[in-house]
Structure formats: structure tokens, C-alpha cells
């Protein structure tokens, strides 16, 4: 398990997220990274102890995740993580590729260099999290980076769609990659994307994004034993 904390996940706008929202973001990241396993039942007090927070915001956050279909409530026990099938993951990834690759590539011609440079600390945070093996921080920073890029295209609905797809994805192979010291190489692709955008090289952006999203059903996708996927 990564360091016990609830990393902050700033929103794209100016509104500061509530404590409940910050806890929900950390729990989503744990789901995506496979640190909370499909089919397992987790109690709010148990998760609270694991994340170093009180049980109330955890319980409230898990109810939010239940509304999103990411967990099911189990009366008098807690919450069961919803399983995601290989077919569903393939469909999510296909839709993401159709949206994210051309949209990000198009930013090579339109994005403000200052706005792009503002995302460099987030890209570096991804690399740092990968080196530390902190998968929750890695997933959260990755989400901020890609949604931040897409926001520069000026289509809020597109950002919402991709955010939902990313939250539903599962990257069960991250743990093994981090343990093998191979996650940093993938993390550095975020810096490659930024550099290609700043160079106004649309084809290079497209190539890196295609390789990067390919990891979702490749390097990052190995299902955990017993996950029933």
C-alpha cells in the first residue's frame, strides 16, 4: 500500500474541494490503481484507518461512489467494489482514444504556451509519484494533468466525459510496474507530451498520446489474481 494519506486533488476551476470530495478523490484513485480490489467489501472505519482520516467523510464519499456505480452498499458491512469487465475496459479505452488523442494533438496549434507550462509541475509530480511508488498520488496527478490539457480545448462537456471514463478505468498493473521500477518511464511521457505541444509538433503529440493511451490496456492493465475479470 502507498503512503497513508489523502492527497489533495485541486479542481480545474477556482472552487476549493471539500474534505468529503478530497476523500472521494483519493478513494477513486485507489480503485483505479487496484489498491481496493473488485468484489472485496470494505468498511468505512477500516478505510478511514487506512487513509488516516475519520470515518464520517469516508462513509459519505463511498455513498458518492455508490451513486457513480463504482461500489455497491452492503448493509451492516460496508461497500463492495464493483468489478469491471475486460470488455468494458476495452470500450472505455476506445472512447478515450477517440476523444483524447485528436483533442490533445490539436492543442499543438492552439494552446497558450504559458498555460501549457503551468502543467509542467503536475507532469513532474507524476514522475515523482512513480519514483516513490505512491500510486494514489500518481493516479490523481495523472487525472489532473490530462483533464487540465483537455480543458485548454475549451469544451467543458468533453472534459466531463473523459473524467467519467477515467474514473471507471482500472490500472491493475501499476503496482507491479512500480515494484519493478518501470513506472517512471511511462510517467515521463507526460513531459514528452508537453514538450511536443510547446514545439507545436502535432504529429509528435499524436504519436506520444497514442503510445501513452496504449498502456491503459497494455502495461498498466494486468488484472489482480482473483479479481474475476
Any domain includes 228: no
The predicted pLDDT at position 180 comes to: 79
147/68: higher pLDDT: 147
One domain for residues 50 and 104: no
Strand partners, 41: 80
Residue 220 pLDDT > 70: no
The predicted pLDDT at position 80 comes to: 94
Instruction: Tell me the pLDDT tens digit for each residue of 15-27.
Output: 466 788 888 888 9
Residue 229 pLDDT > 60: no
One domain for residues 145 and 38: no
Residue from 62, 220, 196, 198 nearest 138 by CA? 220
One domain for residues 107 and 56: no
Averaged confidence pLDDT in the chain: 85
Written in H, E and C, the secondary structure of 88-128 is HHHHHHHHHHHHHHHHHHHHHHHCCHHHHHCCHHHHHHHHH
- Please give the DSSP secondary-structure letter assigned to residue 164: H
Average pLDDT over residues 181-196: 92
The predicted pLDDT at position 223 comes to: 45
* Inter-CA distances, 7 with 2, 129, 202, 219, Å: 11, 11, 33, 25
Any domain includes 3: no
CA distance 101 to 23: 30
Any domain includes 59: yes
The predicted pLDDT at position 62 comes to: 92
Q: How many domains does the chain have?
A: 2
Residue 6 pLDDT > 50: no
One domain for residues 111 and 137: yes
Most confident of 5-19, 62-76, 97-111: 97-111
Instruction: Tell me the pLDDT tens digit for each residue of 80-90.
Output: 999 888 898 88
Q: How many CB atoms lie within 10 A of CB 26?
A: 24
One domain for residues 76 and 187: no
65/8: higher pLDDT: 65
Query: Positive or negative, the Cα torsion across 58, 27, 72, 97?
Result: positive
Q: What CATH number is given to the structural domain containing 107? A: 1.20.120.530
The predicted pLDDT at position 208 comes to: 96
Of 31, 53, 81, which residue sits at a domain end? 81
One domain for residues 139 and 200: yes
Q: Residue 213 corresponds to which cell in the numbers above?
A: 493511451
One domain for residues 127 and 26: no
One domain for residues 153 and 102: yes
Any domain includes 227: no
Lowest mean pLDDT among 2-11, 20-29, 49-58, 63-72: 2-11
Domain residues for the domain of 195 are: 86-216
- Please give the DSSP secondary-structure letter assigned to residue 172: T
CA distance 28 to 26: 5
202/221: higher pLDDT: 202
pLDDT band for position 225 (50/70/90)?
A: very low
Between strands 41-42 and 78-81, the pairing is antiparallel
Residue 145 pLDDT > 80: yes
Residue 49 pLDDT > 60: yes
Q: What is the pTM of this model?
A: 0.81
One domain for residues 37 and 143: no
Amino acid at each position: 500500500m502507498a503512503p497513508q494519506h489523502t492527497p489533495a486533488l485541486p479542481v480545474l476551476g477556482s472552487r476549493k474541494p471539500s474534505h468529503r470530495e478530497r476523500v472521494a478523490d483519493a478513494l477513486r484513485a485507489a480503485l483505479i490503481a487496484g489498491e481496493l480490489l473488485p468484489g472485496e467489501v470494505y468498511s468505512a472505519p477500516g478505510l478511514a484507518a487506512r487513509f488516516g482520516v475519520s470515518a464520517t467523510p469516508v462513509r459519505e464519499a463511498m455513498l458518492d461512489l455508490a451513486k457513480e456505480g463504482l461500489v455497491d452498499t452492503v448493509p451492516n458491512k460496508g461497500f463492495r467494489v464493483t468489478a469491471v469487465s475486460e470488455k468494458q475496459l476495452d470500450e472505455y479505452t476506445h472512447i478515450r482514444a477517440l476523444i483524447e488523442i485528436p483533442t490533445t494533438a490539436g492543442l499543438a496549434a492552439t494552446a497558450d504556451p504559458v498555460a501549457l507550462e503551468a502543467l509542467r509541475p503536475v507532469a513532474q509530480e507524476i514522475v515523482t509519484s512513480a519514483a516513490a511508488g505512491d500510486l494514489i498520488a500518481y493516479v490523481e496527478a495523472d487525472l489532473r494533468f490530462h483533464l487540465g490539457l483537455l480543458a485548454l480545448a475549451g469544451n467543458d462537456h468533453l472534459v466531463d466525459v473523459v473524467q467519467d471514463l477515467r474514473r471507471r478505468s482500472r490500472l491493475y498493473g501499476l503496482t507491479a510496474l512500480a515494484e519493478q521500477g518501470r513506472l517512471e518511464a511511462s510517467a515521463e511521457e507526460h513531459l514528452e507530451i508537453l514538450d511536443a505541444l510547446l514545439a507545436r509538433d502535432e504529429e509528435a503529440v499524436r504519436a506520444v498520446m497514442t503510445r501513452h493511451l496504449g498502456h491503459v490496456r497494455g502495461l498498466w492493465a494486468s488484472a489482480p489474481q482473483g479479481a474475476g475479470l
